[in-house]
């Protein structure tokens, strides 16, 4: 939980940047009179490069240019949202920021542990709090922009009817158990030696003989299979779809009837004996099965589209000026 939170914060910092106030440094662009400065951009360049443990990013001029362009895109959008919030009276209180900060602290053993992690990542507490402020502001504007979006059941049904043979098609599946006699050098890139193949073959033939003598498949799998994970479950690996297993295994599995044992099957892992315990034929899910998830999906799609339209509406109404050769990708270059 701890690492996930911090990675998420870092990702947000990389994609969705915040403004720390006007700098007197050279402006690279301005948004309705508000500058985006070289010094401000460099702070984020330095931050992103500091997360690259290999150091290779700093040596790649093309990637550095892309990073700078992405930062410029983000800072221009931040300016636009700040200007919109100022015009509409949307504010973020210190209490709201502190509540979010405390939520992050709660995923650590202590605040000191969080501070140590931030230090190791090159992130100051002020940097984090400013980012939280920006995220809260964005959330408030997003909620305002998308508050009237609702998806009806009829819209969901229409989407279902248009896409049921693709998005809602459940492919054929078989539930498979297996016994594996793995090559002794299994897992390496080298092909097995004749000796390794012979040893594995003898082991799987012994398992096959036990099955022919009437010993339950589950017992043989638990006692003999080199696939220890499935062996603990009597060889059961669950349902598989086409394309999920190596070809030889897949072909054998889908050729079997329920309750039927395969002959010995060789794959790159070794020798197998398969047992199919259930089969589910291809079918299209009923609307009632997918209604709720479809409505959520469509609502998210419409919200994202509304947000995109809103941002580009701000862009179209803005006065953007560039003061260097660097250009944002948010705007078409004028002839």
Q: What tens digit of pLDDT does each residue of 146-176 get?
A: 999 999 999 999 999 999 999 999 999 999 9
Residue 59, pLDDT score: 80
Residue 186, pLDDT score: 55
Closest CA to 81 of 134, 144, 14, 35: 134
- Do 210 and 314 sit in the same domain of this protein? no
Closest CA to 242 of 256, 228, 253, 258: 253
Confidence band of 140 (pLDDT split at 50, 70, 90)? very high
CB 300 within 8 A of CB 287: no
6/314: higher pLDDT: 314
Q: Mean pLDDT of all residues in the chain?
A: 88
Q: Mean pLDDT over residues 46-53, rounded? A: 79
How far, rounded to the nearest angstrom, does the alpha carbon of residue 146 sit from its chain's CA centroid?
24
Residue 273 counted as domain residue: yes
State the CATH number of the domain containing residue 125: 1.10.4030.10
pLDDT in tens, 195-231: 999 999 999 999 999 999 999 999 999 999 999 999 9
- Do 29 and 116 sit in the same domain of this protein? yes
In the chain, the number of structural domains is 2
- Do 11 and 139 sit in the same domain of this protein? yes
- Do 108 and 186 sit in the same domain of this protein? no
- Do 49 and 139 sit in the same domain of this protein? yes
Q: Mean pLDDT over residues 14-40, rounded? A: 69
- Do 315 and 190 sit in the same domain of this protein? no
State the CATH number of the domain containing residue 276: 3.10.50.40
Residue 335 counted as domain residue: no
Residue 24, pLDDT score: 47
- Do 237 and 195 sit in the same domain of this protein? yes
116: tokens are: 């140590």
For 30, the domain range is 2-151+291-322
- Do 130 and 10 sit in the same domain of this protein? yes
Residue 231 counted as domain residue: yes
Distance CA 8, CA 181 (A): 43
**Of the candidate ranges 18-32, 65-79, 258-272, 316-330, the one whose mean pLDDT is the lowest:** 18-32
- Do 295 and 272 sit in the same domain of this protein? no
Residue 332 counted as domain residue: no
pLDDT at 112 over 50: yes
Residue 330 counted as domain residue: no
pLDDT at 331 over 70: no
Residue 327 counted as domain residue: no
Residue 15, pLDDT score: 44
- Do 189 and 276 sit in the same domain of this protein? yes
- Do 6 and 147 sit in the same domain of this protein? yes
């Amino acid at each position: 939980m701890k690492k996930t939170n911090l990675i998420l914060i870092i990702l947000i910092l990389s994609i969705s940047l915040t403004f720390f106030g006007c700098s007197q440094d050279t402006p690279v662009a301005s948004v309705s009179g508000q500058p985006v400065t070289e010094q401000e951009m460099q702070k984020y360049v330095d931050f992103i490069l500091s997360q690259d443990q290999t150091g290779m990013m700093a040596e790649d001029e093309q990637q550095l240019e892309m990073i700078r362009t992405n930062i410029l895109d983000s800072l221009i959008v931040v300016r636009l949202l700040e200007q919109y919030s100022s015009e509409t009276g949307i504010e973020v209180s210190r209490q709201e920021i502190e509540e979010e900060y405390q939520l992050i602290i709660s995923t650590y053993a202590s605040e000191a542990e969080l501070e140590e992690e931030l230090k190791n990542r090159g992130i100051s507490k002020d940097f984090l709090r400013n980012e939280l402020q920006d995220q809260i502001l964005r959330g408030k504007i997003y909620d305002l922009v998308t508050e009237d979006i609702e998806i009806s059941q009829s819209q969901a049904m229409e989407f279902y009817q248009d896409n049921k043979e693709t998005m809602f098609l459940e492919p054929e599946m078989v539930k498979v158990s297996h016994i594996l006699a793995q090559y002794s050098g299994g897992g390496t890139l080298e092909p097995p030696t004749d000796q390794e193949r012979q040893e594995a073959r003898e082991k799987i033939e012994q398992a096959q003989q036990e099955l022919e003598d009437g010993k339950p498949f589950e017992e043989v799998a638990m006692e003999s299979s080199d696939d220890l994970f499935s062996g603990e479950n009597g060889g059961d690996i669950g349902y598989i779809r086409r394309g999920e297993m190596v070809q030889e295994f897949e072909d054998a599995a889908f050729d079997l009837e329920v309750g039927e044992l395969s002959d010995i099957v060789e794959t790159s892992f070794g020798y197998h004996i398969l047992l199919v315990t259930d089969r589910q034929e291809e079918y299209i899910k009923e609307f009632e099965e997918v209604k709720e998830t479809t409505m959520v999906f469509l609502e998210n799609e419409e919200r994202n589209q509304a947000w995109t339209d809103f941002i580009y509406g701000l862009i179209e109404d803005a006065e953007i000026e560039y003061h260097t050769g660097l250009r944002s990708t948010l705007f078409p270059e004028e002839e």
